[in-house]
A and B are shown apart, each in its own frame.
Chain A
Amino acid sequence: SQTIHQWPATLVQPVGSPLSLECTVEGTSNPNLYWYRQAAGRGLQLLFYSVGIGQISSEVPQNLSASRPQDRQFILSSKKLLLSDSGFYLCAWSWGQGYEQYFGPGTRLTVT
């Protein structure tokens, strides 16, 4: 069976500090991978998606970047966090475009 992991579960970081959130998927190969953010009181927003190693598509301009160094690893990064980067970050995977997405447990980021 497939499982998706995210870490850390919670993170408190000062403004201006770097960020690295990791997502890994087990039990499947060449999945589509997604990063979402859910700001407080708001809906989910797609940040990045990837259809393969090194292939990243960005949905919105922002202070964040994503990388996919391995088939089942997806990393969300920032060089300098902003207060507005606070939120709940969710990673998801799917078999491909048009397939159901499966979500990870999420990382709650607070930028202070």
Chain B
Amino acid sequence: KNEVEQSPQNLTAQEGEFITINCSYSVGISALHWLQQHPGGGIVSLFMLSSGKKKHGRLIATINIQEKHSSLHITASHPRDSAVYICAVRSGDMRFGAGTRLTVKP
């Protein structure tokens, strides 16, 4: 079993839909990251959080340390949100989830 599990693996949504991507981890962590990987491969860091909730534009990330669970929400999704979203936790080194491939259709 991977230390970082993401669900779903693939997600297709219509433009405007509210999207949730989940991440569960089994190790003690000092921080959790949400990354966005564009179709060309480039990776952008979206959030780094160790407690509570962070919001940036249409993106919201939450973390529950007791339950070892984090969610990434996208409100009013848009085709340009189509990407692979990767959850990563810092437990000594970085451990990565396999990613969630999101496709938003117009």
Q: A residues near B, CB below 8 A?
A: 34, 38, 42-46, 49, 59, 88, 90, 98, 100-103, 105-106, 108
Contact = CB atoms under 8 A, between A and B. Distances in A.
Contacts of A49: 93
Interface residues of B, number: 20
A31 to B, nearest CB: 15
A101 B45 contact: yes
A108 B41 contact: yes
The 4 tightest CB contacts between A and B, nearest first, are A103-B43, A44-B96, A43-B98, A106-B41
B30 interface: yes
A11 B97 CA distance: 26
Nearest to A45: B96
A49 B92 CA distance: 12
A43 B41 contact: no
B33 A44 contact: no
Contact of B43 (A42, A45, A90): A90
Interface of B: 30-31, 33, 35, 40-45, 48, 86, 88, 90, 93-94, 96-99
Contacts of A102: 45
Given A43-B86, A44-B88, A98-B31, A103 B96 contact: no
Contacts of A101: 33, 45, 94
A108 B30 CA distance: 31
Contact of A88 (B41, B88, B98): B41
